[in-house]
Each structure stands twice: as C-alpha cells, then as structure tokens.
Amino acid sequence: MSEKVNILIVEARFYEDLADEMASGAIEALEKAGADYERISVPGALEIPAAIRFAADSGHYDGYVGLGVVIRGETTHYDYVCGESARGLQELAIKDRLALGNGILTVENGDQAWARAARDRGNKGAAAVEAALRMVELKSKYGLGR
C-alpha cells in the first residue's frame, strides 16, 4: 500500500492491566507496519462493535482492531458477552464490509488471559492488528476502497 493505513483501536478497559498489555502489542505491530492509529476506550467487550460502527461513519479509518478480555465468571453473562461481541464484529465485517481484527479474548481464567495477551507469549494484540491490516489489503485488492 502506498499511503499510510489508518487504524482505529477500540479497547475494552474492564481489565486494565490486560488491556494495557494487549494495546502495547497492537501498537508495536502498527508502528512496525508503518500504520497510523488512534485509540479509544469503551467500558466492556459488548460496546466494542457499536463504537466501531460509530467511527466507521466518519470515513477516517481504513480498518479497526477490537481489543478486550472476557473471563468466565459464575453466571451465564460470560456466554452472552462472548457470543454477542463476536457476532457484532462479524456482522460489521460482512454487512458493512469493515476490515477488522478481533482481539477479544474469551478465556476461563486470568492465567489463560495472560498467556494470550502477553507480548512475549500469545501477543493477541499484535495478531488482531495483523488480521486487520490483511483485511485492509484484501478490500483494496477487490476495489472496495480502504
């Protein structure tokens, strides 16, 4: 791509330490790729798709990265948050043709979350960026703009 890609990171800040680690991994990947980026935060994973949809109407971004962590608790709330946040992002990708990287971790406990979030381990923040950048490339390839 000849022009710099502009990516919006939307991060759920419910688990602050994990959010910081995932955002750091995402930012490192974006800087390595030479992309521009902005960050916004939302209260939790369920709000990520809506925030991306609001931002998409601005036309300022080529792609989007959703970052968050959902850890299973004692109620079925976990199942709804996991399913609906993933469904919301998938719907944005398919119906609205948005280039997205889904970095919402859905895990059983804190150890699993850290294994996926830590930059020296799973680095799922960077993986979500790589997915978004690849989808930006595919949109461009098929003449759908960036």
Residue list for the binding site: 14, 45-47, 69-71, 74-75, 102, 116
Residue 66 and residue 49: Cα distance in Å, rounded? 8
Query: In 3D, which of 137, 143, 138 has the Cα closest to residue 2?
Result: 137
Which residues participate in the annotated binding site for 5-amino-6-(D-ribitylamino)uracil?
A: 14, 45-47, 69-71, 102
Q: Show binding-site residues for (2S)-2-hydroxy-3-oxobutyl phosphate.
A: 74-75, 116
3-state secondary structure of 66: strand
Q: Which of 4, 32, 60, 77 is catalytic?
A: 77
Q: Is 77 a catalytic residue?
A: yes
**In this structure, are residues 69 and 113 in contact, taking their beta carbons and an 8 Å threshold?**
yes
Using the Cα atoms of residue 92, residue 97, residue 102 and residue 108 in order, give the sign of their dihedral: positive
Could you list the active site residues? 77
